[in-house]
């Protein structure tokens, strides 16, 4: 793999990840860009003990251009059509988000009164372009294409974990208009948070209180593998299963068989084994109803400093689609109370997904 660092016209960092050592990455960003926005501010909610990022500049971010490659800012540049990627082709590209939720470009943050503390939204947000093919998808990547994306995820996790003030690194993909994507090109994002996220705190707290024979995550994986009824796919290094208490109509968790804290800790063999299993699950999602399945794919990694001995790297994949023409909306119970009601029996969801793998 070749890793090349360059910069965009406004100073943002861009990194090419190439399969070939002779890839030419000398293309220059010829656009005229305005100044970069200042970092968001974090406001503390004393009732939930959570930080909320207030990022008003994100209201102006690019929102659902025509959907064609001609309007896409994530396709390679060509002639006078200049995009976020100056090169005329690429394998995998990572660059700083032009409209970040977190950054190091601080301003002045004033007291807002009440009981809410305020501090800068320190951190970093990056965009990961999986392929130059605008009409492709993660599920259609080759195995070595997935491995290259994993190399990029691991590289960025290690790099961003070293930024002062960063407490957790989150790699994820949003897919589909139903999820709320603003760009259709196959891509994901990476958030380097200045705090440990609420979901991670809950899981690590549960792991610390666990009274089972081993690590909580490892025991969940062992129990699901033993039960078998919710296992969707497995190989030597990974198991994909629908959790017994799934919140979403179609939800699959993918665990390595070895407890590791984060993506950089995976071996070469583990990364290679992930690719065919994961893309087969994604294709099973798309095959369920004969329509493109919207989804969120979320890597759960250990925080940078705390709870690393309790954490267990895993991926959570879920969709809001519950039937061909029906979506799962987060209405009163879920949005107001955080109390989920799932319309699909997890065992039935697993059976439906397994049936697609047989095709």
Active site residues: 187
Contacts of 114 (CB under 8 A, 6+ apart): none
Contact present, 18 and 4 (Cβ < 8 Å): yes
Return the residue matching tokens 């023409």: 325
Q: Which of 220, 214, 162 is nearest to 192 (CA)?
A: 162
The SS3 assignment for 179 reads coil
Radius of gyration of the chain (CA): 21
Structure tokens at 177: 């208009």
Task: Order the strands of the 41-45 sheet from edge to edge.
Answer: 50-54, 41-45, 118-120
C-alpha–C-alpha distance, residues 65 and 184, integer Å: 9
DSSP line for 86-149: -SS--SEEEEE-SS-SS-S--------STT--EEE--SEEEEEE--S-TT--GGGS-HHHHHHH
Q: What is the DSSP letter of 222?
A: H
Q: Which of 143, 138, 220 is nearest to 186 (CA)?
A: 138
Contact present, 108 and 100 (Cβ < 8 Å): no
Contact present, 100 and 61 (Cβ < 8 Å): no
Structure tokens at 41: 């501010």
Backbone angles phi and psi of 279, in degrees to 5: -65, -30
Element (H, E) at 151: helix 143-161
Contact present, 356 and 288 (Cβ < 8 Å): yes
């Amino acid at each position: 793999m070749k890793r090349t660092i360059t910069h965009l016209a406004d100073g943002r960092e861009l990194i090419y990840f190439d399969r070939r050592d002779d890839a030419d990455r000398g293309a220059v960003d010829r656009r005229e860009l305005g100044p970069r926005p200042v970092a968001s501010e974090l406001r503390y909610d004393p009732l939930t003990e959570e930080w909320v990022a207030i990022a008003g500049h994100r209201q102006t971010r690019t929102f659902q251009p025509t959907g064609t490659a001609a309007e896409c800012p994530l396709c390679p540049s060509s002639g006078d059509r200049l995009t976020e990627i100056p090169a005329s082709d690429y394998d995998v590209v990572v660059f700083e988000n032009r409209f970040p939720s977190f950054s190091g470009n601080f301003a002045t943050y004033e007291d807002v009164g009440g009981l809410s503390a305020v501090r800068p939204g320190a951190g970093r947000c990056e965009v990961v372009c999986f392929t130059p093919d605008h009409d492709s998808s993660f599920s259609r990547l080759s195995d070595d294409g997935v491995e290259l994306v994993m190399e990029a995820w691991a590289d960025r996790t290690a790099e961003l974990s070293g930024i002062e003030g960063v407490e957790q690194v989150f790699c994820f993909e949003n897919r589909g208009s139903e999820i709320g994507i603003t760009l259709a090109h196959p891509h994901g994002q990476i958030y380097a948070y200045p705090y440990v996220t609420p979901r991670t705190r809950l899981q690590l707290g549960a792991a610390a209180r666990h009274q089972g024979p081993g690590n909580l995550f490892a025991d969940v994986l062992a129990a699901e593998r033993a039960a078998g009824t919710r296992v969707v796919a497995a190989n030597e290094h990974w198991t994909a299963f629908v959790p017994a208490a799934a919140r979403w109509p179609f939800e699959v968790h993918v665990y390595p068989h070895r407890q590791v804290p984060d993506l950089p800790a995976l071996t070469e063999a583990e990364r290679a084994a992930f690719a065919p299993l994961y893309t087969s699950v994604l294709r099973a999602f798309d095959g369920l109803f004969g329509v493109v399945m919207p989804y969120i794919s979320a890597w759960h990694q250990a925080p940078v400093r705390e709870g690393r001995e309790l954490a267990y790297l895993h991926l959570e994949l879920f969709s809001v689609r519950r039937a061909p023409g029906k979506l799962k909306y987060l209405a009163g119970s879920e949005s107001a109370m955080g109390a989920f009601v799932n319309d699909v029996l997890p065992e039935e969801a697993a059976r439906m997904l397994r049936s697609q793998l047989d095709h």
